[in-house]
Structure 1
Amino acid sequence: MPRSPVAAPRRETVLHQGQPLDYTLVFRARRTLGFAVRPDGSVHVSAPAGVPATWVAQQVLKRADWIRQHLAAFARRPPPAPARSYHAGAAHHYLGRPLALRLTEGPRSAVAAAGHELVITYPAPHAPARTEALLLAWYARQAPALFAEALARVWPAFAGLELRQPTLFVRHMRTRWGSCTPTTARIRLTPDLVRATPGCLDYVLLHECCHLKVPDHSPAFYALQTRLLPDWELWKQRLNALPR
């Protein structure tokens, strides 16, 4: 049986609280209305074929508050970070400082921070995938000592809380800076943190240490974190601004 033809999308606008609300309307072979708000700020409405566009506009107005809420949520999201480059001259952070990659040839693989550069040496030919692997491995090697120094700075703030000092572990995590298991006092931190300033690292570690006292993210947890680090929101913002 042949499918019914689908009308071309059309741009529509309704006034909601004196402000225009634009949406793309398309009529399809369906029984119900469908609403979609996309990350790019566009609103799409799918309507059953044959219903009047004026009726659809009325339904859009009924859902206007819901649409505005989603548009505002997408607007608050930070823009996606550009893909990292591993070619000579590309900027990569270490301890909060942007350093330019300098690729050199040598018989052995090595990575070193020198002045305003990250110098990566290995036998030719150079390839982005090889450069990336060496740099990430170098970050991971720096992490244990830097994390231990951060714990020495942070842990005195927990004096008097009768907590067991945590054991730190380095673990690659794609979507988290750290995690904590209160029952075993184990804290895992991603080596990606060595790219951040020491203040940002201290914030993450203090956050995880607070979970030793309050396992969840309840008001009691944030009260403790604020008491120990009143400007933690500033450090969180700086951390999240770091390209990942």
Structure 2
Amino acid sequence: MKKIRKSKTEQLNFGNYSFEVIKKKIKNIYFRVYPSKGKIIVSAPFSIDSETLNKAILSKSDWLNKQVKKAAIAKPEPVKTYITGEKLLFKGEIYSLYVDYRHTGPRVAKTFDKVIHLKVKPGTDFPQREKIIISWYRKELKRSIGMYIDKWQPRIGVTVNEFNVRKMKTRWGSCNVNAKRIWLNLALIKCAEKFLEYVIVHEMIHLLERKHNARFKSLMDRFIPDWKRLKKELNRFSL
């Protein structure tokens, strides 16, 4: 009796990516990105040839680039030591860190070629470098928050008396309705600004409606029509 093959796994390198190709008894080609495993898995028919498979991968290159970028943001970052060559997330983009030891500083600046320059005095140790980067993150995030609050106060019809930034383990933001005070998670500086704007509007709407009820959702639909999609994407990110 002939044994029926259920699947066959192969490894394939194509362009900048490595794929795990699983050949099955199927008719179509499917792509999946698994951030936790660090894998791109392609399910394909047993009968597919290399040329057809390569063409299929090429046709999905834009989608794959977007998914891999999301995966890089979604998975927990490795422990940082803030040395030259490390990758830092800033407003949804991946930057390379360059530590410039000078007798002036400290100072942090980013460039258009996706480099964050950390200028510090010789002998500046890891805790000091970390403190400088986090302070810069906080300053940049506060700048953006202020801009979005100014934008949305007249649109929503509320006033925010105070806002601040802190590290949070389980939420992206919080709102003290009585004090009209908003707190935002420092980790939002690593996310694209569309997510920051969504969280700010979410918290500001709590000044109109405390609960996540039908009225709250209706207000979110009015001001941020795609808020459900943004919420879903944001919740994939690692706090």
The TM-score, its normalising length taken from structure 1, stands at: 0.60
Q: Which position in structure 1 is the counterpart of 2:89?
A: 93
Identity of aligned residues (%): 23
1:141-152 to 2 correspondences below 5 Å:
141-152=139-150
Q: Which position in structure 2 is the counterpart of 1:208?
A: 203
Unaligned runs of 5+ in 1: 1-39, 41-77
Q: How many angstroms does 1:99 deviate by?
A: 0.9
Q: Which position in structure 2 is the counterpart of 1:174?
A: 168
1:40-79 to 2 correspondences below 5 Å:
none
Q: How many angstroms does 1:80 deviate by?
A: 5.2
Q: Is the 8 A contact 1:153 1:202 kept in 2?
A: no
Measured at CA, do residues 79 and 122 of structure 1 come closer, stay the same or move farther in structure 2, by a change above 3 Å? closer
Q: Is the 8 A contact 2:137 2:186 kept in 1?
A: yes
Q: Which position in structure 2 is the counterpart of 1:56?
A: none
Unaligned runs of 5+ in 2: 1-35, 37-72
Paired with 1:168 and 1:239, the residues of 2 have a C-alpha distance of 24
Q: Which position in structure 1 is the counterpart of 2:4?
A: none
Q: Which position in structure 1 is the counterpart of 2:193?
A: 198
Q: Which position in structure 2 is the counterpart of 1:19?
A: none
Deviating more after overlay: 122-131 vs 210-219 = 122-131
AA in 1 matched with 2:90: Y
Does the residue aligned with 2:166 lie in a helix, a strand or coil? Answer: coil
Give runs of ≥4 in structure 1 deviating > 6 Å. Answer: none
Q: How many angstroms does 1:202 deviate by?
A: 0.7
RMSD value, Cα: 2.4
Does the residue aligned with 1:217 lie in a helix, a strand or coil? Answer: coil
Residues 112-167 of structure 1: CA distance to partner in whole angstroms, max 9, x if unpaired?
A: 112211111112235433322110011112233211111133334314xxx3x112
Paired with 2:235 and 2:84, the residues of 1 have a C-alpha distance of 26
Q: How many residue pairs are counted as aligned between the two chains? A: 164
Q: Is the 8 A contact 2:92 2:193 kept in 1?
A: yes
Q: 1:132 aligns with which of 104, 116, 130?
A: 130
Q: Which position in structure 1 is the counterpart of 2:107?
A: 110
Q: Is the 8 A contact 2:86 2:97 kept in 1?
A: yes
AA in 2 matched with 1:113: K
Residues 70-95 of structure 1: CA distance to partner in whole angstroms, max 9, x if unpaired?
A: xxxxxxxx975132422322221222
Q: Is the 8 A contact 1:103 1:119 kept in 2?
A: yes
Deviating more after overlay: 191-200 vs 207-216 = 191-200
Higher Rg:
1
Q: How many angstroms does 1:208 deviate by?
A: 0.1
